[in-house]
């Protein structure tokens, strides 16, 4: 079977209007701007309005991506929503979005790989299009982490924000588009980063709420060490699979979890900061939305030219990781 080349035809993003600054957080927990900026690089983050759910953020990002790709929702064959904060347990957020977009012929499903979800989604979509099964696939990373963040816990509440980013994928000329994917998981690290309540192991109950089990739990410094190691490894593996080296990179788009993790990845890849997309001062860590938000902003800012080598790389709960090399 001849495989088609697949690429990104359009990108879009959406963030809610409400801004939560470091100064706001100083009034909520025992923290300060200096600590947050020096440990993470974050200055503010966006918070969804009370009547906004993940599908609402995803909807606006999807519309922008469809406009940018120049196709209509009716042309979509598949919608993949990467999220760990679906509107509800079921139906999937992708099905809710399919209805709202009017994407009548599209199949739809959610994908759970935390902050690596968008790259997992791109790899899945790539394979459907490469084999000729589908023409157009919409991949979205969207999360409302504010709904699962404990705003009495200073260890985690400064880190997260809400947002959505989207990409429309389709066939592209030979030699362009996705050149490789590197996906991985280490389920033994699941206890380092999780949300215990609300699933079949611990259904919601008065006890689960009183035990604060419906919020993100994170062993911060363990996750930090894992992230520093895996970001460089995953990017280098993806480059190797693409037959390229770190010298070929024109733009790195990393998961926006912590500026110190990003800086460690840059030194590992021997890249200057100008070759890296960093928007975490504005949005903090938006989980599955982080990489597509940065990708959409990089596109808006004209940071990728035709033929550029763009590397996406991320890690997240699971533990999971993913990287992809794209010729823009
Ligand atoms: N303000 C002030 N002090 C704080 C804050 C805060 N917001 N948070 C923690 N501290 C304190 C701690 O209590 C600790 O105090 P102690 O020494 O008296 O106990 C001290 O600061 C140092 O804490 P550390 O955990 O050692 O700080 P570290 O340098 O590791 O930075 C951080 C913490 C930013 C969380 C870092 O570990 C990190 O970025 N980890 C990775 C996070 C990440 O990428 N998570 C991915 C989640 S994505 C997903 O899947 C949802």
Residue 228 φ/ψ, nearest 5 degrees: -60, -40
Residue nearest atom 30 of ligand 1, based on CA coordinates: 221
Per-residue model confidence (pLDDT) at position 1: 78
Instruction: Give residue 319's pLDDT.
Output: 97
Which residue's CA is the nearest one to ligand 1's atom 2? 31
- Residue 140, strand partner residues: 81, 166
Q: What is the pLDDT of residue 312?
A: 98
Q: Is the CB of 158 under 6 A from ligand 1?
A: yes
Detail the DSSP E strand segments found in the chain.
6-14, 18-21, 44-47, 78-82, 107-111, 137-144, 162-171, 177-185, 193-194, 217-218, 251-254, 309-316, 320-327
State how far the Cα of 325 lies from the Cα of 62, in Å rounded to an integer. Answer: 23
Indicate which residue of 95, 115, 144, 276 is catalytic: 115
Instruction: Tell me which of 20, 112, 156, 221 to substitute to probe ligand 1's pocket, judged by most ligand atoms within 8 Å of the beta carbon.
Output: 221
Q: Is the peptide bond before 91 cis (omega within 30 degrees of 0)?
A: yes
CATH number of 6-174: 3.40.47.10
Among the listed residues 22, 126, 285, 309, the single catalytic one is: 285
Classify the phi-psi angles of 263: left when phi > 0, otherwise alpha if psi is within -120 to 50, otherwise beta. alpha
255 given a catalytic annotation: yes
Q: Measured between alpha carbons, how far is residue 193 from residues 87, 100, 196, 316, 323 in Å?
A: 21, 32, 10, 8, 20
| Cα 163 to averaged position of ligand 1 atoms, centre (Å) | 22
Answer whether 61's CB lies under 8 Å from 283's CB: no
The predicted pLDDT at position 250 comes to: 97
The low-confidence residues of the chain, meaning pLDDT below 50, are none
CATH of domain 178-327: 3.40.47.10
Going from the Cα of 68 to the center of ligand 1, the distance in angstroms, rounded, reads 38
Ligand 1 close to Cβ of residue 83 (< 6 A): no
Beta partners for residue 142, in sequence order: 164
Amino acid 2: pLDDT: 85
- CA separation for the pair 86, 84 (Å, rounded): 6
Q: What is the per-residue pLDDT for 318?
A: 96
All CATH 3.40.47.10 domain ranges in the chain, comma separated: 6-174, 178-327
The alpha carbon of 162 and the centre of ligand 1 are apart by a number of angstroms equal to: 19
Annotated active-site residue 285? The verdict is yes
Total-model pTM: 0.96
């Amino acid at each position: 079977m001849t495989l088609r080349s697949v690429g990104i035809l359009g990108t879009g993003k959406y963030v809610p209007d409400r801004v939560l600054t470091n100064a706001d957080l100083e009034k909520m927990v025992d923290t300060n701007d200096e600590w947050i900026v020096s440990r993470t690089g974050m200055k503010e983050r966006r918070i969804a309005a009370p009547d906004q759910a993940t599908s609402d953020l995803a909807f606006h990002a999807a519309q922008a991506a469809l406009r940018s790709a120049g196709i209509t929702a009716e042309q979509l064959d598949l919608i993949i929503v990467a999220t760990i904060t679906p509107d509800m347990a079921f139906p999937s957020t992708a099905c809710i979005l399919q209805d709202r977009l009017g994407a009548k012929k599209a199949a739809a499903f959610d994908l759970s790989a935390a902050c690596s979800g968008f790259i997992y989604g791109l790899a899945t979509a790539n394979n459907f299009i490469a084999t000729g099964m589908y023409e157009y696939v919409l991949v979205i990373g969207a999360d409302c982490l504010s709904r699962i963040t404990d705003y009495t816990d200073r260890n985690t509440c400064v880190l997260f924000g809400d947002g959505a980013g989207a990409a429309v994928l389709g066939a592209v000329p030979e030699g362009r588009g996705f050149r490789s994917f590197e996906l991985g998981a280490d389920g033994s690290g699941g206890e380092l980063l999780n949300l215990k309540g609300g699933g079949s192991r611990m259904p919601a109950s008065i006890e689960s709420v009183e035990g604060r089990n419906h919020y993100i739990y994170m062993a911060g410094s363990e996750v930090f060490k894992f992230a520093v190691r895996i970001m460089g490894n995953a990017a280098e593996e993806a480059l190797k699979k693409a037959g390229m080296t770190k010298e070929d990179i024109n733009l790195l788009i990393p998961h926006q979890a912590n500026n110190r993790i990003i800086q460690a990845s840059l030194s590992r890849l021997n890249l200057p900061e100008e070759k890296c997309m960093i928007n975490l001062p504005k949005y903090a860590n938006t989980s599955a939305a982080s990489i597509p938000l940065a990708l959409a902003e990089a596109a808006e800012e004209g940071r990728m030219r035709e033929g550029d080598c763009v590397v996406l790389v991320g890690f997240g709960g699971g533990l999971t990781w993913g990287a992809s090399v794209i010729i823009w």
